[in-house]
Amino acid sequence: MEFDKDLRSIQEVRDLLAQARKAQNLLSAMSQEQLDRITAAISRAGAEHARRLADMAVEETGFGKKEDKEIKNKFAALTLYEAIKDQKTHGILHQDGERRTVEIGVPVGVVAGLVPSTNPTSTVIYKAMICLKGGNPIVFSPHPSALNCILETVRVIRQAAEEAGAPAGSISCVSTPTMEATNTLMRHPFTRLILATGGAAMVKAAYSSGTPAIGVGAGNGPAYIHHTANVELAVKRILDSKTFDNGTICASEQSIIMEQRMEPAVKAALRAQGAYLLDEEETKKLSGFILRANGTMNPAIVGKRVETVAKLAGLTRVPPSARVLVAKETGVGKGHPYSSEKLGLILGCYVEPDEEAVLRRCIEILEWEGAGHTFSIHTEDEEVAKRFGAAVPASRVLVNTAASLGGIGATTCLFPALTLGCGAVGGSSSSNNIGPLDLINIKRVAWGVKELDELRGRAGVGESTPDLEQLVQQILRRLKV
């Protein structure tokens, strides 16, 4: 009997979750050293196949650049590994002899990993590494338009992980992606946590599933060029950032903001470095292709070359050398598409009368879309950076760096991650750059240090307590760590 696609996909999810649950029992009994060997194997495999998987991603989705997706794959495989290789995530994490407490790391359980089409292969490598480092199996739900490259990435890292000792079912992927399959994965009682990276609707569905979730909303970061900035360098960083992988990283700049006195210098630097500044007619033409009728981003502009976007909008004067299209914007919200997230080579441009107006505009843009995500500022005045950092609703405030790479921790000392929490203001359960420590629970063992008589204000009967080190060893033996 042949079942419909949606029924087959639901049954596949149930089977994968059953296997993952069995794997969880085995992973929970492993030592930190065993989990570290598995994590290292994923790292090596991801790095070894970085270029091939990057090529597959671009060829399948049409988004981005092969050479930049290779960098992202290596970032996930190597930079992330260096950051987490010595982290303690399992067993005794910390003990305080004076306060007589012990902290014990335990896995959260089976994780549902939702994968976007913009960063498919790097996201798989990254999420598998942070999950297995904490002893959690992961079942991936792939974006349908990136299915083949995601399946191949899962195959590569799964084989490496299992050869290093990971039990079967530790890393798996739905091969028949449907909405029904994703909903089943998110709502199933075996799923303990959802790690959601993707569009706003998908993240909202994750939080509405009834299962604990870590999700990230849209990025829509403004970039402020302060009057103390090195303008040429600031523009270089912004253009380098926006053109990296054709703008598909959600932390990338979406608009440039400046005071009126800075307009001539900034626009001259933009033109000199290959940006094409649209005139009023061209701005209007392109505006109709940024968003779809329902207000969501038009996939036709995502990760595409300037030439492709210009042709789509009928812009005939854009030179072949143009790196980014820049359009002047004066408003925020509905009817102002340049004020929204544009995961492509398009930047909005705002000119405000003074610094206070700039700050208000930055807040307005982030509150419209991108609250809690990323804001960048270019300035030599540290106090201005701190002031804006305290005022804007962003979890990452980046100073004098390319936002796309600074936000993920490639050009800054932020934790290297491809899932960037937006905090409560952005509807997210975390404001962190998500890592293994976000995917474990911590048990706390605490010995009594006072008697009830002491709380009542009377001297208690003194009684010696067991030696803490002996008790810790008993816990370790019981955990078999």
- Amino acid identity of residue 126, one-letter, is Y
What is 389-408 written as a DSSP string?
HHHSSEEEEEESS-HHHHHT
From CA 33, how far away is CA 63, in angstroms rounded? 38
Long-range pairs, 466-475, Cβ under 8 A, ≥24: 468/95, 468/97, 468/100, 468/102, 469/97, 471/102, 471/445, 471/447, 472/92, 472/95, 472/102, 475/92, 475/102, 475/104, 475/445
The torsion of the CA quartet 257, 263, 269, 271, rounded to 10 degrees, works out to 90
Distance of CA 167 to the CA centre of its chain: 27
From CA 268, how far away is CA 163, in angstroms rounded? 56
From CA 376, how far away is CA 398, in angstroms rounded? 5
What is 206-238 written as a DSSP string?
HHTSSS-EEE-----EEEEE-TTS-HHHHHHHH
From CA 259, how far away is CA 233, in angstroms rounded? 17
CA-nearest of 372, 394, 415 to 130 is 415
Strands 91-96 and 394-399: unpaired
Contact 369, 218 (CB under 8 A): yes
Phi-psi region of 69 (alpha: psi -120 to 50; beta: other; left: phi over 0): alpha
The residue count of the chain comes to: 481
From CA 466, how far away is CA 78, in angstroms rounded? 44
Contact 421, 395 (CB under 8 A): yes
From CA 267, how far away is CA 282, in angstroms rounded? 17
Contact 373, 341 (CB under 8 A): no
According to DSSP, the residues that pair with 444 across neighbouring strands are 103
Instruction: Indicate which residue of 173, 250, 349, 422 is catalytic.
Output: 250
Active site residue 250: yes
Q: Tell me which residues are annotated as active site.
A: 250
